[in-house]
Amino acid sequence: MRIDSISHKLFLLASLSMLVFTYGCSATAEAQSQGLPAWVDNPSDHYSDNQFLMAVGSSPTREGARTQAQSNLAQIFVSEVEVDESYVNEFQEITDSEEGVTTRENTNLVTRSEVTSDQQMRNVEIKEMHHAADGTFYALAAMDRMETAQLYSKEIEDNHDKINSFRENAGQTNSKLDRLIYLKQALATARVNEMLINQRAILSGQGARGDVALSQITQEYREAKKACTVRLVEDGEVPGEVRSDITRKLQNEGFEVDNNASDPVIEMNINLVMEPIDLNRPKYEFIQWALQIEAQNKESGQWFSTFMAEGREGSMNEKYARQRAVQAVQEKLSSELGSFINNELLSVQ
C-alpha cells in the first residue's frame, strides 16, 4: 500500500514537470511562430531569474514599449507590497530639501506613479528591443536584483539614522510641540522604511522583516499627540461645518483638539466674516466672505503666520448665496489648511 502511494506521488510529480516543460515550450513555440523572439514570452530563456527581475512591454512605438515594460516591472512591486501614497506624500513634505531635490528623486521606493507614468525607474535597463512585422515594438526591462537590493539597503540604513536622530531630539526637548514634530518626522520615515524593507524582499527573494521600531514610534507619537492640545477660539459666529473641518485637519496632522483645555499648547483664533454685497445684478444676491486664522504657540508666546482666504459667491437669494460661501470656505480649507499646518505649526523653529 505504501509502495503504491509513493508510486502515485512520483507519477503526479512527473506529470507536473512535463506540464511545466510543455507550457514553456508551447509559449516559446507560439512566440517563434509569430516571428517573435523567445524572450517575449519567456524572458528567463535569455536571462537568469535569479539575477534579474524582468518584465516585457509592447506598443506601436519604441518609446511606448520601453515605458510599458518599465510600468509592468513597477507593477510587480506595487502588487506585492501595499504602498500607502499618503505616507509617501507625508514623508516627502518632511524630507524635501531647500535645493529642490524631491523625495521621488532620492528614493528607490516604487509607487503607483511609476506604474502610470513614463518616469524612469532606478537601476532599470532595457535588455532587448524587437520590432515585429506588424509594426509592434516589444521591450524587455530588467532590474539587477543584487545591485538594486544594495541600493535599498543603503537607503534603509540612512533612514534608520534619521529616525534615531528624530527620536533623540524628541527625548531631549522640553517643548511638547517640538516633541510632536520630531516624532511625526520619525514616524513618517519609519513608515516609508517599512515599505522599502518589504520591496527589498521582492528582489532578494527572502521574507520581509518588519521594522521593530515602527510600533514603538507609533506609540510614542500617540502619547505626544495627546499632550499637544489645541484650543479653538471663535471670533464671531463660525458655521459648525467650518469648525468641524478645521478640527479634522488639525487632528489629521497630529494635534489633539480640546476647546476646554486650560493649558493648551496652541491657541487658534478663527474669524469668518460673511456680508452681503451689491454687485448691481438684478435677481442675484452675493455674499462676500473673508476667513482669518491666527495661531499662537502658548509655550513660547510666539505667533505663527496668519492663514487668510477670501472670495464671494452668488445665487438666486441670500440664503443660497450664503450656503455657497460656506462651501467655498470649506473647499479652501480642504486644499490649503493642511499645508499651512505643516509649514507653520509643525515646523521646528
CATH architecture of residue range(s) 229-345:
2-Layer Sandwich (3.30)
Average pLDDT over residues 190-216: 81
pLDDT band at 129 (very low <50, low <70, confident <90, very high): very high
Bigger pLDDT: 35 or 324? 324
* Least confident span in 7-21, 118-132, 143-157, 184-198: 7-21
Q: In what order do the strands lie in the sheet with 285-297?
A: 256-257, 229-235, 266-277, 285-297, 307-315
How much is the pLDDT for 219?
A: 93
Domain ranges of the chain: 2-83+110-144, 147-226, 229-345
SS3 75: helix
pLDDT band at 142 (very low <50, low <70, confident <90, very high): very high
Is residue 13's pLDDT more than 50?
A: no
Is residue 19's pLDDT more than 50?
A: no
Adjacent-strand bridge partners of 235: 271
Q: Which residues contact 292 (CB under 8 A, 6 or more apart)?
A: 270, 271, 272, 306, 307, 308
For residue 267, what are the CA distances in angstroms to 250, 258, 261, 301? Answer: 12, 10, 10, 10
| Opening angle at CA 22, ends 75 and 35, nearest 5 | 70
Is residue 243's pLDDT more than 70?
A: yes
Helices (H), the chain: 2-33, 62-80, 85-95, 112-116, 145-172, 176-204, 212-227, 240-252, 318-332, 338-340
Q: Are 47 and 127 in contact (CB under 8 A)?
A: yes
